[in-house]
């Protein structure tokens, strides 16, 4: 009986183990959907439980045989044992049902394992493709960053190219690029428009750099138009070239400033300043000549005009002092005069460079030494009382009709004469339509004499003015006549030789 009790205990343990195994098998069958390894373990546990069940069933059969031998001798104990065996059989039957369920679960676990293995294979394939695509994207981004166009977009992109896939700068760069692109249109029309703009910009860049003996080259890479400029033995991107040119210009400017002082002292002060001295004296002499001609032709009312050539109110600082020095001969300049002129010309050169940094040195020098920009003409008007007043819109309005006309006409004659003085062989035409309206005959005589004094070739139309004055050395006159009822115009030519008018028949 002790042996039978032990066997029953073993059977109960086996049945309990089977129940636990089946429970674990059920749990692992559910987990088999996520991993094949757990499903395999559940199957192994189910096999062990089945083996234990079979072993317990064998032991129960042996016990049943022993029970048959003991029935005759054990009486009530045997009856009790029978009851226990019946209970054990019930548990065995229940265990068998659970085992069958475990077999079903095992089959399902095998299916889940197969599906999980298939999913794993597909996931590995997708991972390999993603890894390859990511590596390719990183390589492209590295190459793109190495070409240097990112720095043009701003400081946010001024970073070193990413090293590898683990470099977080890859993500930073990608996100920054996405932010930079934003909602920019990507349709075909937008692409065509941008390509046209790129072409125009490259042409302008080529024109600008070629003037400095730099030849940019455009090519396509990474789906972009890139530009390289050979400079100092290497191809440079626009951003790199800009930085190098700025640095180079700064170095040259420092060197040039020192050299510039020597040039100004040795050349500008001795040569250019002497030339400016002659030009300023010539300009003042021209003003004196014009004033002599104009002041000698006052109106009958006593009104007269005169010009003044003075420093412009918007002229740069130091113009008055510099012009005063330049009007003196160079051999009379003191050391302070030379230093003052040098400082003034240096400021003019610096201002010319700042105004037009892309201009050539010759153009900048010409702009810096253009004394005409430092001055302006003003006109003074003498009234009937003999006072000289600045001719302004207000003072001009106080004169008579003839005085107003003369005040506007004579300065124009002087301006035309000054303009033509720049070319000795140019035609000196001036055209007057219905000239001298509102001006008396004597003032007309004076005005035509002024045109002759300025050596201007006047072409004039007038209803009543013949121009035959002793102040005019020569004049060809065409008189036009028409019949109100006819469709033709008759012309008669006259010639004035300064003394008399005669008809000039062909």
Interacting residues of 233 by C-beta distance below 8 A, sequence separation 6+ = none
Whether pLDDT at 207 is above 80? yes
pLDDT tens sequence across 430-446: 999 887 888 888 888 98
More confident residue, 52 or 125: 125
Tell me what pLDDT residue 188 has. Answer: 83
Q: Residue 27's closest CA among 48, 41, 16, 14?
A: 41
pLDDT-based confidence at 311, cuts 50/70/90?
confident
Query: H helices within 264-400, ranges in order?
Result: 273-295, 319-326, 335-355, 361-368, 393-396
For residue 103, give every residue at least 6 positions away whose Cβ sits within 8 Å of its Cβ, in sequence order, or none: 46
Please tell me the distance from the alpha carbon of residue 42 to that of residue 55, in angstroms, as a whole number.
20
pLDDT tens digits, 128-164: 887 787 777 777 776 666 656 666 666 666 555 555 5
Query: DSSP labels for 399-434?
Result: S-HHHHHHHHHHHHHHHHHHHHTT-TTS--EEEEES
pLDDT of 34? 58
Pick the closest to residue 19 from 50, 58, 59 (CA basis).
50
Check if the beta carbon of residue 138 is closer than 8 Å to that of residue 170: yes
Average pLDDT over the chain reads 78
Going along 183-271, which residue ranges are E strands? Answer: 217-221, 224-231, 234-236
Query: Is the pTM of the predicted complex or chain greater than 0.85?
Result: no
| Cα atoms in the 13 Å half-sphere on the side-chain side of 380 | 13
Enumerate the domain spans of the chain. 1-57+92-177, 187-236, 253-398, 401-505
**Distance separating alpha carbons of residues 11 and 57, to the nearest angstrom:** 8
């Amino acid at each position: 009986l002790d042996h039978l009790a032990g066997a029953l205990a073993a059977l109960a343990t086996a049945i309990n183990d089977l129940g636990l195994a089946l429970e674990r098998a059920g749990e692992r069958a559910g987990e088999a959907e996520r991993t094949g390894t757990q499903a395999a373990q559940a199957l192994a546990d189910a096999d062990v439980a089945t083996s234990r069940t079979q072993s317990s069933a064998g032991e129960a059969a042996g016990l049943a045989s022993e029970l048959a031998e003991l029935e005759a001798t054990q009486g009530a104990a045997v009856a009790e044992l029978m009851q226990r065996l019946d209970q054990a059989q019930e548990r065995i039957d229940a265990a068998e049902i659970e085992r069958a369920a475990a077999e079903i679960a095992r089959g399902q676990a095998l299916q889940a394992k197969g599906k999980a293995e298939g999913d794993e294979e597909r996931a590995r394939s997708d991972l390999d493709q993603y890894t390859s695509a990511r590596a390719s994207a990183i390589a492209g981004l590295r190459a793109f960053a190495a070409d240097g166009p990112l720095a043009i977009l701003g400081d946010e992109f001024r970073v070193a190219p990413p090293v590898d896939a683990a470099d977080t700068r890859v993500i930073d760069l990608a996100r920054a690029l996405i932010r930079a692109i934003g909602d920019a249109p990507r349709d075909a029309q937008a692409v065509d428009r941008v390509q046209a703009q790129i072409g125009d910009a490259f042409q302008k860049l080529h024109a600008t750099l070629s003037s400095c003996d730099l030849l940019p080259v455009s090519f396509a890479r990474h789906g972009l138009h890139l530009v390289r400029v050979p400079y100092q033995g290497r191809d440079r991107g626009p951003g790199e070239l800009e930085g190098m040119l700025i640095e180079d210009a700064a170095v040259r400017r420092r060197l040039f400033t020192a050299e510039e002082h020597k040039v100004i002292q040795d050349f500008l002060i001795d040569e250019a300043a002497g030339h400016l001295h002659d030009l300023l004296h010539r300009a003042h002499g021209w003003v004196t000549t014009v004033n002599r001609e104009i002041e000698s032709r006052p109106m009958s009312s006593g009104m007269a005009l005169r010009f003044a050539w003075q420093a412009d109110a918007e002229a740069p600082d130091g113009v008055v002092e510099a012009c005063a020095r330049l009007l003196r001969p160079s051999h009379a300049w003191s050391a302070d005069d030379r230093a003052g002129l040098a400082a003034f010309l240096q400021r003019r050169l610096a201002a010319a460079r700042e105004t037009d940094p892309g201009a050539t040195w010759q153009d900048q020098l010409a702009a810096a030494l253009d004394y005409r920009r430092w001055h302006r003409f003003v006109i003074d008007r003498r009234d009937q009382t003999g006072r000289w007043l600045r001719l302004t819109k207000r003072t001009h309005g106080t004169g008579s009709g003839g005085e107003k006309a003369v005040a506007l006409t004579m300065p124009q004659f002087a301006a035309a004469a000054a303009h033509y003085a720049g070319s000795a062989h140019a035609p000196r035409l001036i055209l007057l339509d219905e000239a001298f309206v509102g001006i008396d005959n004597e003032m007309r005589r004076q005005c035509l004499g002024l045109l002759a004094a300025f050596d201007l070739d006047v072409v004039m139309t007038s209803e009543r003015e013949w121009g035959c004055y002793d102040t005019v050395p020569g004049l060809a006159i065409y008189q036009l006549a028409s019949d109100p009822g006819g469709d033709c115009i008759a012309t008669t030519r006259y010639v004035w030789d300064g003394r008399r008018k005669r008809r000039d028949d062909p």
